[in-house]
Structure 1
Amino acid sequence: MSIESMNKNHSLRLESLRQLISSFKGWGFLVPYSNCFQNEYMADCDHRLQWLTGFKGSAGLVIVLANHAALFVDGRYTVQAPQEVETRNFSVEPYSVDSIEKWLSQHSPAGQVLLYDSWLYTVQQISSYKKHLDPLGITLEPCDDNLIDAVWVDRPVRPCEPFVPHPDEFSGKSFKNKLEPILASMKLKSLDYMIMTNPESISWLLNMRSNDTPFTPSCQAFLIIDHGGGVQAFTDLKKVTQDVRNHSGDPVSWCEFKQFLDVVSSFSTKKVRVDFGQLPQKILDCLRHAKAEVLHETDPCILGRALKNDVEQAGAIAAQERDSIAVINFLAWLERSYQNKKITELDTVAELLKQRQKQTYFQGESFSTISAVGPHAAIVHYHPDPLTNTILSEDAIYLLDSGGQYLDGTTDTTRTIALGQPTDEQKDRFTRVLKGHIALASIIFPDGTTGQQLDVLARQFLWHVGLDYEHSTGHGIGSYLNVHEGPQRIGKGGHGAVLQPGMLVTNEPGYYKAGEYGIRIESVLLVIPLNSNFLGFKTLTLIPIDRMLMDVSLLTKQEIEWINAYHDKIFTKLSSKVDEQSTGWLQEATKPIKFSESSLKNG
């Protein structure tokens, strides 16, 4: 089989994988969107699922059996996935453990073995799968090597970018100060070691960044912390410069990644703390073989990096302001250009990047820009490419979801723009999304509140007319780290973390009509203390919301006052900072809306 054939024909790739599964005496093989670090954004060499199926989303699972195969995706990708994969090869199914169990019960007889790469699954994931598959008589069995790698004949080389120290002027807290409470906790619980495998936590703790993966400047490494304060960092040592060694100091000894399992294998009878939600099953198997005493606790750095200190908060505010300037300059350019020139979705991506590159501290995009016009906007995570690239036409809705990585913060924002005259339906849907956005941004809530409790605020006006959206309403954001960060979130499912002062979270309700248009309004919020044990949100994003798409008759007086105050704040803060040719556009975009009692509808 030629390399060219393997690269172009997913059917051939699937057949090659099936032959290998059979040679290993397996009935099937699990192919997750994952690597050993559980990165959201991965290097090209880790995109096994995309190589096999053609699916370009950032979450999913493929199960390949002898005669059937399925791609499991969440609600963000239900429109996108069938467009990208050959559905004669892969059925597209909802991504949940219950759905996986149901599908396997229909296609896999009892007594069969499913192979998997134990580096790519966390302990928690495997435990959940086994709970659902054991009653079906299906056995999960790890294989020594990933079967995809054996048939991926021209797999890209793994990147090897150097680590870069992240100065205290941006982090606000030294590595030593971050390590102290971890060591105190280990001493209290008589732990010998703590193993860390999450790149964002490790980057935050060490005050290091890197560019090994797209969009997220995290360091691909594992850490072992011992009770005496020593830290072993395992990575490709070609990434570790003398500046990095000087910055990390004496507590950190740098080791080759291939030494990691050998060190873990020596932990006989040692008490070791891990996080089963992050730890690859491969490492737990090694610890058990060594007869270590394993204690599961949540990674302490997750909450530490979510609670932005004063320096990180100031950086987030500054980064959001600069990013807003870039987006305003872009929107002004778009207004001037799209009617007279054949502007495409990819043209807008390039222009927006150019505007961001003008801003201080800009390092790169925080995710692949979603630049979507018309029906493409109904695909929640659509990304234009040369095959799908479309000209922005009049009388269409344009959705732009984008973000930047700055040394002092990470940004994420969405605005939906009317190109020409929107329909009454589009204005109705947009205004209901806007009302939900305002309700969430304005809420005052008591200590102890979770994002799940607030989610209904953003959906209520869509629910009034029997509509909804499939994604969550908000996610946390890192500080020059991952644009999607926990533990806080705003959404229907799960319990989520309690919202606390210093946390960042997005506010992004939406509406999507498949095949026609999509709407989303997204801003970044900072949780702030108010009084008497109550909290609120401060909106950091400073980008106008398109008045052309508003049905003002659906807005209350209070909602109009919120919009006017928000737009006045934008103009006051940024009118002297945007490009000269953008000032007129900004002035028009932030004009106050007039309120009239007589024009109100019952929305």
Structure 2
Amino acid sequence: MLTEVTHAKRLAALRAELARLDIDGLLVPRSDEYLGEYVPPSAERLAWLTGFTGSAGMAIVLAERAAVFTDGRYTTQVASQTDPALWERLHIIEQPAQEWLAEHAAGRSIGYDPWLHAQAAVERLAASGVRLVPLAANPLDAVWHDRPAAPRTQAMPQPAEFAGQGSAEKRAELAAALRQAGEDTAVLADPHSLAWLLNIRGADLEYTPLALGFALLHSNATVDLFMEPSKVPEATRAHLGNAVVVHPPVGLPTILAGLAGQAVRLDPESTPAWFAATLREAGATLRPGEDPCRLPRACKNPVEQAGARAAHRRDAVAMARFLAWFTAEAPRGGVTEMSAADRLLAFRREVPMFRAESFPAISGAGENGAIVHYRATEATNRAVRVNECYLVDSGGQYTDGTTDITRTLWTGPGTPPADLVERYTRVLRGHVALATLRFPQGVAGPHIDAVARAPLWEAGLDYDHGTGHGIGSFLSVHEGPVSISRAARPIPVRAGMILSDEPGYYQPGAYGIRIENLLLARPAAEQPGQVKPFLEFETLTLVPYERRLIGVALLTPAERAWVDAYHARVLAEVGEKVEPAVRDWLAEACAPL
């Protein structure tokens, strides 16, 4: 286990390197050059420097002070993992980095690695009044002497039976859109776009099946793919075809230089600032615009939708086995947060087509459940005690789909406290309200966020995270562009999108409540007199709720009927796929309220 002394020495070494370079400070983001949520060990710079291991955050290092910023999901975690003598711990929404820079570093030179920051993010930080200096090499890497090697797993084809549409067809459709917009080339800096457009997957990241790389999509439907050649075996090259040319990443500057005079689309929110600077120097005309793969990727085609349903049915078998086991074992003692997560992973591994977890399981008992993105470690792992709340948020990567589910459980055998039941039931009511919502086409994620919060707001309660995020198709468990959050961009929900429905409530030092299902947006049946098209949600997740925490009298008749109908569906679709003992447990868990 690393000590405070270790992180103090690392911070001191970095400051010495900044002094050598004659710059006043450095931005240290959580991201790697692909700007994704999950990064390989070789890119865990923020964790190496600060000790904070969350998936979102940034540090700013000056000679005399330093700060680490994160959002509401991680405020408790960052406080427990970082040394207050070294770091100010700040909420990135309430105390934005640009305001901190304006107060403490105005007029000073602040270095940044242009590969690790999106162009738009650099522009926002520059508004703070500091002098941002792009660096040719990252100073932190110069002092990180035992930095792991970058991953180099192979890119493999994603079969058409799961992708639902061939790469050539996708490329032709997007190339036509580029021509219509008067654009010659689009920069694809997001490996998810490569995975979707080229129908390839990889294992460069532990939880997201990506082969890391960059690409240029041209208006003639050809692609220049920048990936180490050793990562692209002959079978994958044959799958890609002659219209996709593989280049080593070191060839990227030369190819970009050849785009002089061309109109190049670049997403300023998801593309490293290095690309914009290099293309400007080459004489290309930059056309700011969203990654052309992002919206089509989010709107799952019929084959991907069928795959998501099938993956959730199989995942439900693993969850039913786990919940039956947990219900029996937790009251006896001997279960820990880590042993519970290990048992759930073991059940998933028995399910056909399982490839990996879709994120590190959040297995939090009692007060640890109140840490929104808690991850049990050897240092924090504790026993799951009798008569307390236990929260488990987990998911699986299957060849035909990605799952993400949260259930809050009561360990029994005693009766849960009335206030816990009341708050769980309010969370459940908000969860049901979103699942049953009908809404006009054109409505965006921020417009429906309040639907899930309303039952909590009635009691003066809330939660400090979004209500829902997009889900990929055997891709990232967190996928844009739509998010059900008041802080999200107002991008309309569209048919084919898969979104999570996960309201919660967290009592620091006591317990956490979150209930999460995945929902598929689809056209709603037309009502008499309807004046515009509407959408609704199909619930994909098939796992019972914790009936011991449901205050039945607090539900409306419609809410109670929906829960009963959902449980009946769970029993019908999952019960026949599990062994008799688990089916008996499932029948009791799914009995009418």
TM-score (norm 1): 0.95
Matches within 5 A, 1:222-261: 222-261=214-253
**Per-residue displacement from partner, 1:161-185 (whole Å, max 9, x unpaired)?**
0011000000000001101111112
Alignment equivalent of 1:456, drawn from 440, 450, 458: 450
Tell me the equivalent position of 1:432: 426
**Per-residue displacement from partner, 1:424-469 (whole Å, max 9, x unpaired)?**
1111110100010111111111111112111111101111111100
Q: Report the alpha carbon displacement of residue 499 of structure 1 after superposing the two structures with TM.
A: 1.1
Q: Report the alpha carbon displacement of residue 544 of structure 1 after superposing the two structures with TM.
A: 0.3
> 1:377·1:398 contact (CA, 8 Å) conserved in 2?
yes
Task: For residue 420 of structure 2, give the secondary structure of its aligned residue in structure 1.
Answer: helix
> 2:171·2:222 contact (CA, 8 Å) conserved in 1?
no
C-alpha distance in 2 between matches for 1:125 and 1:428: 42
2:39 matches 1:42: yes
C-alpha distance in 2 between matches for 1:205 and 1:75: 34
Alignment equivalent of 1:106, drawn from 103, 106, 109: 103
Q: Report the alpha carbon displacement of residue 379 of structure 1 after superposing the two structures with TM.
A: 0.0
**Per-residue displacement from partner, 1:387-420 (whole Å, max 9, x unpaired)?**
1111111011000000000000000000000112
C-alpha distance in 1 between matches for 2:560 and 2:357: 33
C-alpha distance in 1 between matches for 2:291 and 2:94: 24
Task: For residue 46 of structure 2, give the secondary structure of its aligned residue in structure 1.
Answer: helix
**Per-residue displacement from partner, 1:469-500 (whole Å, max 9, x unpaired)?**
00000001000000000111111123332111
Letter in 2 for 1:464: E
> 1:575·1:583 contact (CA, 8 Å) conserved in 2?
yes
Alignment equivalent of 2:406, drawn from 397, 404, 414: 414
Letter in 1 for 2:107: G
Matches within 5 A, 1:296-315: 296-315=288-307
> 1:5·1:12 contact (CA, 8 Å) conserved in 2?
no
Alignment equivalent of 2:263, drawn from 271, 279, 291: 271
C-alpha distance in 2 between matches for 1:288 and 1:529: 43
2:542 matches 1:542: yes
Alignment equivalent of 1:12, drawn from 6, 9, 15: 9
Alignment equivalent of 1:488, drawn from 482, 485, 510: 482
After TM superposition, the runs of 4+ consecutive aligned structure 1 residues lying more than 3 A away are: 4-8
C-alpha distance in 2 between matches for 1:544 and 1:400: 13
C-alpha distance in 2 between matches for 1:431 and 1:241: 52
Letter in 2 for 1:129: L
Q: Report the alpha carbon displacement of residue 125 of structure 1 after superposing the two structures with TM.
A: 0.7
C-alpha distance in 1 between matches for 2:486 and 2:375: 26
Alignment equivalent of 1:162, drawn from 150, 154, 167: 154
Tell me the equivalent position of 2:186: 194
Alignment equivalent of 1:57, drawn from 30, 54, 57: 54
Tell me the equivalent position of 1:597: none
Tell me the equivalent position of 1:396: 388
Matches within 5 A, 1:73-88: 73-88=70-85
**Per-residue displacement from partner, 1:302-353 (whole Å, max 9, x unpaired)?**
1111111000000000101111111110011111222334111111111111
Letter in 2 for 1:205: L
C-alpha distance in 2 between matches for 1:70 and 1:98: 11
C-alpha distance in 1 between matches for 2:277 and 2:516: 42
C-alpha distance in 1 between matches for 2:177 and 2:422: 53
**Per-residue displacement from partner, 1:40-95 (whole Å, max 9, x unpaired)?**
11100100000001101000000000110000010101111100111110011011
> 1:6·1:13 contact (CA, 8 Å) conserved in 2?
no
Alignment equivalent of 2:122, drawn from 126, 129, 132: 126
C-alpha distance in 1 between matches for 2:416 and 2:40: 40
C-alpha distance in 1 between matches for 2:551 and 2:173: 52
Q: Tell me the number of residue pairs that the alignment of Structure 1 and Structure 2 aligns.
A: 585
**Per-residue displacement from partner, 1:260-303 (whole Å, max 9, x unpaired)?**
11211232222212111111111111111111111111111111
Tell me the equivalent position of 1:598: none
C-alpha distance in 1 between matches for 2:325 and 2:553: 30
Task: For residue 300 of structure 1, give the secondary structure of its aligned residue in structure 2.
Answer: coil
Letter in 1 for 2:474: Y
Tell me the equivalent position of 1:531: 525
Alignment equivalent of 1:22, drawn from 19, 23, 45: 19
Q: Report the alpha carbon displacement of residue 226 of structure 1 after superposing the two structures with TM.
A: 2.6
Alignment equivalent of 1:282, drawn from 274, 296, 299: 274
2:570 matches 1:567: no
> 2:4·2:83 contact (CA, 8 Å) conserved in 1?
no
Task: For residue 9 of structure 1, give the secondary structure of its aligned residue in structure 2.
Answer: helix
Q: Report the alpha carbon displacement of residue 190 of structure 1 after superposing the two structures with TM.
A: 3.5
Task: For residue 506 of structure 1, give the secondary structure of its aligned residue in structure 2.
Answer: strand
Query: Which sections of structure 1, spanning at least 5 residues, go unmatched?
Result: 594-603
C-alpha distance in 2 between matches for 1:497 and 1:278: 16
Tell me the equivalent position of 2:582: 582
2:349 matches 1:353: no
C-alpha distance in 2 between matches for 1:590 and 1:225: 50
Task: For residue 536 of structure 2, give the secondary structure of its aligned residue in structure 1.
Answer: strand
Tell me the equivalent position of 2:459: 465
> 2:98·2:124 contact (CA, 8 Å) conserved in 1?
no
**Per-residue displacement from partner, 1:6-50 (whole Å, max 9, x unpaired)?**
996100000000111111111110000001111211100100000
TM-score (norm 2): 0.97
Q: Report the alpha carbon displacement of residue 572 of structure 1 after superposing the two structures with TM.
A: 1.2
